[in-house]
Amino acid sequence: MDIIEYRNHDRILLAVDCIIFGFDGRKLQALCIKRGIDPEKGRWSLMGGFVDCNEDVDTAASRVLKQRTGLADIYMEQLYCFGDVRRDSAGRVVSIAYFSLINIEAYSEQLQDNHEARWFDLEKMPSLIFDHEQMVVIAKKRLREKVATHPIGFALLPEKFTLPQLQNLYEAIYESPLDKRNFARKILSLGILNKLTEKEKQSSRKGAFYYIFDKDKYSALEQEGLKFT
């Protein structure tokens, strides 16, 4: 294919959209933003932006997340390509969607105010622009599949957490109750949590011990064939 043939083809815009999940201790949430440009100005949207000519799509997604949340080096995974011809009424735009997991407590309130961003429970999501609602549905499905085999859910929690908090997270992701004893026995049998002497005493008088996720221990076990389920 020579350069003349390249010129004979239509030019299209490439965008990235990011589904940012958080967990408030009870519900799984997604971060949305009030769109500031036409079309659909003023409606709720996912975090997104166009890919520059001098950057790859992963770099563009990281840049958008940094601009919108102030956070870098957070969990992010490419999700799906959305390319319906009529998906964006302003022009021919193909979007590469990503989903990201962040700890809500680490999210910058200043950026939230500046960009009119807001957390929504997944079952109470507002109407979103274009095909963004479909993006959230697919991202939620991917998250459920991924947490069954990889410990990515810890990215949604503070550095130290209790077993009830961890169980609440998985129940929120799967929208189903889990047996307390079986859950604790299974997660502790993996040997990837380090128990602290400190307790969380706000939820009960007796209190619950805090744990931290041991990434190094998990990496070593993963090489031996550990399945995180």
Total of domains in the chain = 2
Find the mean pLDDT for residues 67-85: 89
Looking at the fold, whether 218 and 135 belong to one and the same domain comes out as no
Residue 128 pLDDT greater than 70, yes or no:
yes
pLDDT higher than 80, residue 107 = no
**pLDDT digits over 153-181, tens only?**
999 999 999 999 999 999 999 999 999 99
pTM comes to 0.90
For residue 205 the two structure tokens come to: 């008088």
pLDDT band at 228 (very low <50, low <70, confident <90, very high): low
60: region left, alpha or beta (phi > 0 left; psi from -120 to 50 alpha): alpha
Q: Over the stretch 17-31, which tens digit does the pLDDT of each residue have?
A: 999 999 999 999 999
Confidence of residue 223 (pLDDT cuts 50, 70, 90): confident
Assess whether 198 carries a catalytic annotation. no
Is a pLDDT exceeding 60 seen at residue 108? no
Q: Does the residue 38 lie in any domain?
A: yes
Question: Which pLDDT belongs to residue 114?
Answer: 58
Which of 96, 54, 93, 90 shows the shortest CA–CA distance to 77?
96
Stronger pLDDT, 116 or 64, i.e. the higher one: 64
Domain limits for position 109? 3-147
Amino acid 73: pLDDT: 83
| 187 part of a folded domain | yes
Are 17 and 125 within one domain?
A: yes
Calculate what percentage of the chain has a pLDDT beyond 70.
91
Catalytic site residue from 40, 55, 105, 116 = 116
**pLDDT at residue 36, rounded to an integer:** 84
Give the per-residue pLDDT at 225. 66
DSSP letter at 124?
Answer: G
Average pLDDT over residues 74-84: 95
Mean pLDDT of 98-106: 89
Same domain, 172 and 103: no
Identify which of 215, 216, 103, 222 has the alpha carbon closest to the alpha carbon of residue 169: 103
Answer with the one of 125, 147, 169 that is the final residue of a domain: 147
Q: How far is CA 98 from CA 8, 59, 64, 75, 78, in A?
A: 31, 12, 11, 10, 4
Final residue belonging to a domain, choices 147, 168, 189: 147
Q: Would you state the pLDDT for residue 68?
A: 78
Token pair, residue 99, equals 């989903």
Tell me, yes or no, whether 43 and 141 share the same domain.
yes
For the domain that residue 219 is a member of, what is the CATH number? 1.10.10.10
Considering the chain, what is the average pLDDT of its residues? 89
| Confidence band for 76, pLDDT divided at 50, 70 and 90 | very high
The confidence score (pLDDT) of residue 109 equals: 61
